Structure 1
Amino acid sequence: MGTTLGPFAGLKAVFFDLDGTLVDSARDIHRSLAIALSDLCLRTVSEPQVRYWVGRGASRLIDCTIKSLGADPALHAPLLAQFMLRYQANVCVDSEVYDGVIHCLEYCQAQQLHLACITNKPLLPAKTLLSQLNLLRYFSLVLGGDSLDHRKPHPAPLLHALAYYDILPDQAVMIGDSRNDVEAAHASGMACVALSYGYNHGEPLQACAPDLLLDSLFELF
């Protein structure tokens, strides 16, 4: 089994990031965070701030929020718990699949490629989001930020997926939207396609040195 996906030949698997790559989820994350902040009688933060902070896991999002508000760091644990409670209940209200995603997944599936979703979002809301957007059916493996001891940019999740499918690094490609994805891919010996429309903490994606930088998944074809 092997095929060509754009410029990459001989692939057996494609690994996808979730937030900012497959799905624009920032509005739902912001809403849930705003409610959690209100629950704890804290000031809110803006959606642009949340778009800047997301992508490195829920705990990092809460870190950034607390620092922005100048709040007591001891609030991290209760705010994180309240955010996760609110988000799990409202994980897919305004979240949308990006243009080109379904076309790409359908193509990969038709080519009999293994598809994995590797995200820093906790596994339960990740699978709920994928399911509610009818994307879960495409993936034979989903790894969340709490699935293993390490998360991206550590290579462990990608290496785990390679071992799961019993393939070599040059037989897979990572598709993501941030430095986390590029660094995890390169540390595991894989190529990385970076997408310009996602969440990269205000940093130009070119600075991450991806193997290919695209504005849309349609450009792969």
Structure 2
Amino acid sequence: MLRMGCYFFMDPMPQSLPLHAAIVDLDGTMVDTLGDFVVALNRCLGDLGLPSIERSFVERTVGKGSEHLLRSTLAHLGADAGLYEAAWARYQVHYRAVNGDHAKVFPGVTRGLAWLRSRGLRLACLTNKPTAFAEPLLARKGLAAHFEQVFGGDAFERRKPDPLPLLRTCEALGSEPSRTLMIGDSSNDAQAAHAAGCPVVLVTYGYNHGEDVRAVPALAHLDRLDQIEGWLAY
């Protein structure tokens, strides 16, 4: 693997296979939402008389959907699994109330998305976050206009790392998987992309369950999303 400045290359994008579209993850890829998760989760736990959870645990656990985060949190605290339904109801209330309050767009994201669109790529956001939370977050952070489609974790029968959401999103964009770039921050995104037949690029600043994402196979590992311009031009 060749390192060039802030770029971590494994392979250039084949020039004989031009891209028609891109699918972009949300949490940890475009927006740092860890603060929202921590606040909403701890308010939920407080309602149930449970102790608060540490930020580092949330960072290691996000990425597989809110249900997974909540079940993992209850297990981590040694709480009764039967509390899940009550916890889910309270969590939904609190997350909706704080959605975007403690979140910020990562540097380079807006420019990177604008550049991809300037190249004629059709863009979709595909996240394991519920659609009802994803759409207002994108709008609040000024990112919604970049996307033709937004699909949350409840949009399909299965979620990433299953390839089904990527395949369905490709269909919605009218693009073949081999010509649709997946951009994410975790092994979930990479695993789904590889299984779907999509080329994949990973950003290095996301969550990835507390592990170094550079160890996850991808065409490139980028420190900022706007570095995609240099990679595709490489």
The TM-score bracket by the shorter chain reads: over 0.9
Aligned partner letter, 2:170:
L
Structure 2: state its 5+ residue gaps: 1-10, 230-234
Match of residue 67 from structure 1 = 75
Match of residue 179 from structure 1 = 187
- For 2:204 and 2:75, the matched residues in 1 are separated by 27
Aligned counterparts, 1:110-149, within 5 A: 110-149=118-157
- For 1:95 and 1:182, the matched residues in 2 are separated by 24
Match of residue 40 from structure 2 = 32
SS of the aligned residue for 1:213 comes to: strand
Q: 2:103 aligns with which of 87, 95, 98?
A: 95
- Paired residues in the alignment total 216
Q: Deviations over 1:86-116 (max 9, x none)?
A: 1011101120000110111111122221000
Aligned partner letter, 2:160:
K
Q: Deviations over 1:63-103 (max 9, x none)?
A: 11111111001111211221111101110112000011011
Paired-residue identity, %: 38
Q: 1:43 aligns with which of 51, 58, 65?
A: 51
> Normalising to structure 2: TM-score of the pair?
0.89
CA RMSD of aligned residues (A): 1.3
- For 2:92 and 2:39, the matched residues in 1 are separated by 12
Aligned partner letter, 2:120:
Q
List structure 1 segments (4+ residues) > 2 angstroms apart after TM superposition: 6-9
Match of residue 15 from structure 1 = 23
1:29 CA displacement: 1.0
Aligned counterparts, 1:187-198, within 5 A: 187-198=195-206
Structure 1: state its 5+ residue gaps: 1-5
- For 1:133 and 1:194, the matched residues in 2 are separated by 21
Aligned partner letter, 2:87:
L
1:149 CA displacement: 0.3
Aligned partner letter, 1:128:
P
SS of the aligned residue for 1:11 comes to: coil
- For 1:201 and 1:130, the matched residues in 2 are separated by 23
SS of the aligned residue for 2:23 comes to: strand
- For 2:206 and 2:52, the matched residues in 1 are separated by 23
SS of the aligned residue for 2:145 comes to: helix
Q: Deviations over 1:128-153 (max 9, x none)?
A: 11011111111001110000101100
Match of residue 3 from structure 1 = none
1:7 CA displacement: 3.8
